[in-house]
Amino acid sequence: MSDDTTNLADSGCVSRRNFLFGSSAVVASSILLPALPGTGGKALAAEMARYPRKLVGKLSSLKTNEVQHFNYPDDGSTAKSVIVKLGTPAGGGIGKGRDVVAFNALCTHMGGDMRKTYKSEHQVLGPCPFHQSTFDLQRHGMIVSGHATESLPQVLLELEGDDIYAVGLIGLIYGRYDNLKG
């Protein structure tokens, strides 16, 4: 556990730099960035630096298992995303319970819109209306069952006071060739 990160969480303020390089803890407010071997996280940090920082919601307005919609990283037709407080800790979760996560909601198999398919008893998004793929929101959008060729792109979140900011994506949004070219 990093004291640095814990303090940041307590202060409710996470700077971009700390977000990119800090570790997280049970009460940490930011996701730990994936650390590529030998790079100390710098490669991905550089990658994420190209993403916009966008206010997507208020922590206090999230109710457990209630899905809110937002668009990220732009307002293109494939930017449809969901943010949900799972009520149980999750990979990349923010907030005191580490349970607030966000994902692009297009199925990475054939692009089915899954925004309205959240299954609260399982913390799963899906089944996709097209071909029934399901994704585990507790575990970075990993495929539970189905056909998709990557996990659901996870929207990286930062918390600043009560404000939740989207700051990056892991994975490619279905239908795009570049996440930033919607």
Partner 1 sequence: MSDQSTPFFQPEDKIPLPPKSAEVLTTCCDYCVMACGYKVYRWPVGSADGGPRKHENAVNRNYPLRPNQSGWIGPNQYTQATYDGRLYNLAIIPDPDAKVVNVKGGHSIRGGCIAQKVYNPRKPTQDRLKYPMIRINDILMPVTWDFALDIMAAVSKHVIAKHGEAAWAMKYFSYQYFENTYALTKLAFKDINTPAVAHHDHPAIVNSVPGWVDMGYDIFSASHEDFALADCVLISGTDPYESKTVLWNNWILKGINGNKTKVIMINPRRTMGVAYAETHGGLHLDINPGSDTVVQMAIQRVILENGWEDKEFIDKWVANFWETDSGFGQGTRNTPWQWRTTWGKFQVKGFEDWKAWMLSQEESKPEVAAEIAGIDVAKIYKAAEMMAKPKANGERVKTSIAIEKGNYWSNNYLNTVSIGTMGAILGAGGRPGQVVTRLGGHQRGGVNGGPYPTMKSAYKVPGRRRHRLDLDRWMEAGHVRFAYVIGTTWIQAMAGSSALADTFKKLIKLNPHQVRSFDKQEIIDTLIRRSDSGGTVVVNQDIYLRDPIGAQYADIVLPAATWGEEDFARANSERRIRLYSKFYDAPGDALPDWKIAAKFAKKMGFEGYDWKDSNDVFEETCRFSRGSRKDYQVIRTMAQRKGMKAHDFLRTFGTTGLQAPLMLFGDKIVETKRLHDYNRTDIPDTGPEGVTIVNKRMTAFKTHTGKLNLLKSPWAEWSDFYEFMKPRDGELWIATGRINEIWESGFDDFERRPYTQQRWPMNFLEIHPDDAKARGVESGDIVAVEADRVPIQKDFNLGVKSDDMRFSGLMKRGHIKISTGQFSAVAIVTPSTKKGVVFTDFLKMDSPANSVTPRVPDPFTLNYRFKIANGKVKRVGESVFKHKFSQMTFKRRDIV
> Is the CB of 100 or the CB of 143 nearer to partner 1?
143
CB of 96 to partner 1, least distance (A): 14
| Residue 91 beta carbon to partner 1: minimum distance, rounded to whole angstroms | 3
Which of 107, 108, 88 has the alpha carbon at shortest distance from 99? 88
For residue 73, say if its preceding peptide bond is cis, omega within 30 degrees of 0: yes
Q: Which is nearer to partner 1, 14 or 143 (CB)?
A: 143
| Rounded Cα gap, residues 121 and 160, in angstroms | 29
Phi, psi dihedral angles at 167 (to 5 degrees): -130, 0
We find the least distance from the C-beta atom of residue 4 to partner 1, in angstroms, to be 13
Question: Are 30 and 158 spatial neighbours (Cβ–Cβ below 8 Å)?
Answer: yes
Asked about 69 being catalytic, the answer comes back as no
Are 155 and 169 in contact by the 8 Å Cβ rule? The answer is yes
Distance of alpha carbon 101 from alpha carbon 82, whole angstroms? 8
| CB nearer to partner 1: pick between 36 and 55 | 36
109 is catalytic: yes
Kindly tell me which of 56 and 128 has the beta carbon lying closer to partner 1. Answer: 128
Annotated catalytic residue within 69, 109, 122, 140: 109
In whole angstroms, give the CA distance from residue 179 to residue 174.
9
Counted residue by residue, the chain has a size of 182
Neighbouring C-beta atoms of residue 88, cutoff 10 Å: 14
Q: Kindly name the residue from 69, 122, 131, 140 that is annotated as catalytic.
A: 131
Binding site for partner 1 (CB under 8 A): 1, 23-26, 28, 31-36, 44, 47, 76-78, 89-92, 106, 108-113, 119, 122-124, 126-127, 130-132, 134, 136, 138-140, 142-151, 153-154, 169-182
CB of residue 117 vs partner 1: minimum separation in angstroms?
A: 10
Q: Hey, which residues are catalytic here?
A: 109, 131
